Amino acid sequence: AQSVAQPEDQVNVAEGNPLTVKCTYSVSGNPYLFWYVQYPNRGLQFLLKYITGDNLVKGSYGFEAEFNKSQTSFHLKKPSALVSDSALYFCATRGGWGKFQFGAGTQVVVTP
């Protein structure tokens, strides 16, 4: 079965510092991996995806993610966090029939 895990419930970072949100995956075959962001009482917004190709994937709002096959990880990163990046972040993987499996989510808190 396809699954992802987000080991941190919350990440705290000061504005201007680098932000990393961790995700590990357990997938048979080639992984399809995604990152989404959710602001309070809103739907999920797509940030980026890894299907194939370069291990460093660039996405929206200055976010990027690094696919690491040996460590089965797909961590989300941003070089300099903004207060407006405070939100709930979800990692996901695609299984059969286009079905997604989501991680439990990581709350990011960026303090001024």
Partner 1 sequence: DGGITQSPKYLFRKEGQNVTLSCEQNLNHDAMYWYRQDPGQGLRLIYYSQIVNDFQKGDIAEGYSVSREKKESFPLTVTSAQKNPTAFYLCATKDRNEETQYFGPGTRLLVL
Q: Which is nearer to partner 1, 15 or 102 (CB)?
A: 102
Local structure of residue 40 (DSSP, 8 states): T
- Within 11-30, the residues that bind partner 1 by CB under 8 A are none
- What gap in Å lies between CA 46 and CA 35, rounded to an integer? 6
By CB under 8 A, residue 96 contacts partner 1: no
Local structure of residue 17 (DSSP, 8 states): S
By CB under 8 A, residue 44 contacts partner 1: yes
Q: Which is nearer to partner 1, 13 or 37 (CB)?
A: 37
Q: Is 66 buried (19+), middle (13-18) or exposed (0-12) by CB count in 10 A?
A: middle
Q: Which is nearer to partner 1, 44 or 82 (CB)?
A: 44
Angle at 97 between CA 87 and CA 31, to 5 degrees: 60
Interface segment toward partner 1; rule CB under 8 A; list 13-21, 22-30, 42-50, 56-64? 42-50
- What gap in Å lies between CA 6 and CA 4, rounded to an integer? 7
Among 25, 31, 34, 74, binds partner 1 (CB under 8 A): 34
By CB under 8 A, residue 35 contacts partner 1: no
End-to-end CA distance of the chain: 41
Given the rule CB under 8 A, which residues bind partner 1?
9, 32, 34, 36, 41-46, 49, 51, 90, 94, 97-100, 102-105
